[in-house]
């Protein structure tokens, strides 16, 4: 098992879509929301993804295919 921290940036049309829930249901990934900011026009979420590396990579590819921007996060966003 590995942990990977990523930031999802959602375009306006995907703000209300259950992307994180679907990610956890379709792939063997446990997401942990570390920080988030959502408005009606945009949103971003910093997640810690826990699972097998291959499964996390498949999940990230799926999220990108849905139209969400995914960026790596270095360090612990909450603890500094």
Per-residue pLDDT averaged across 58-69, rounded? 98
Q: Is residue 55 part of a domain?
A: no
Total number of domains constituting the chain = 1
Q: Is residue 22 part of a domain?
A: yes
Q: What's this model's pTM, rounded to 2 decimal places?
A: 0.88
Q: Is residue 75 part of a domain?
A: no
What are the angstrom distances between the C-alpha of 4 and each of 17, 18, 26, 27, 46?
22, 20, 18, 15, 10
Q: Is residue 58 part of a domain?
A: no
Q: What pLDDT is recorded for position 80?
A: 47
SS3 of 30, please?
strand
Q: Is residue 47 part of a domain?
A: no
15 lies in which domain range? 11-35
**9-33 pLDDT, tens digit each:** 999 999 999 999 999 999 999 999 9
Percent of the chain whose predicted confidence (pLDDT) is above 90:
86
Q: At 70, is the pLDDT very low, low, confident or very high (cuts 50, 70, 90)?
A: very high
């Amino acid at each position: 098992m590995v942990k990977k921290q990523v930031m999802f940036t959602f375009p306006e049309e995907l703000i209300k879509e259950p992307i994180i829930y679907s990610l956890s249901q379709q792939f063997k990934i446990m997401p942990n929301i570390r920080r988030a900011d959502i408005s009606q026009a945009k949103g971003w979420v910093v997640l810690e993804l826990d699972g097998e590396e291959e499964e996390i990579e498949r999940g990230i590819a799926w999220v990108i295919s849905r139209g969400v921007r995914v960026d790596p996060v270095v360090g612990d966003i909450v603890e500094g």
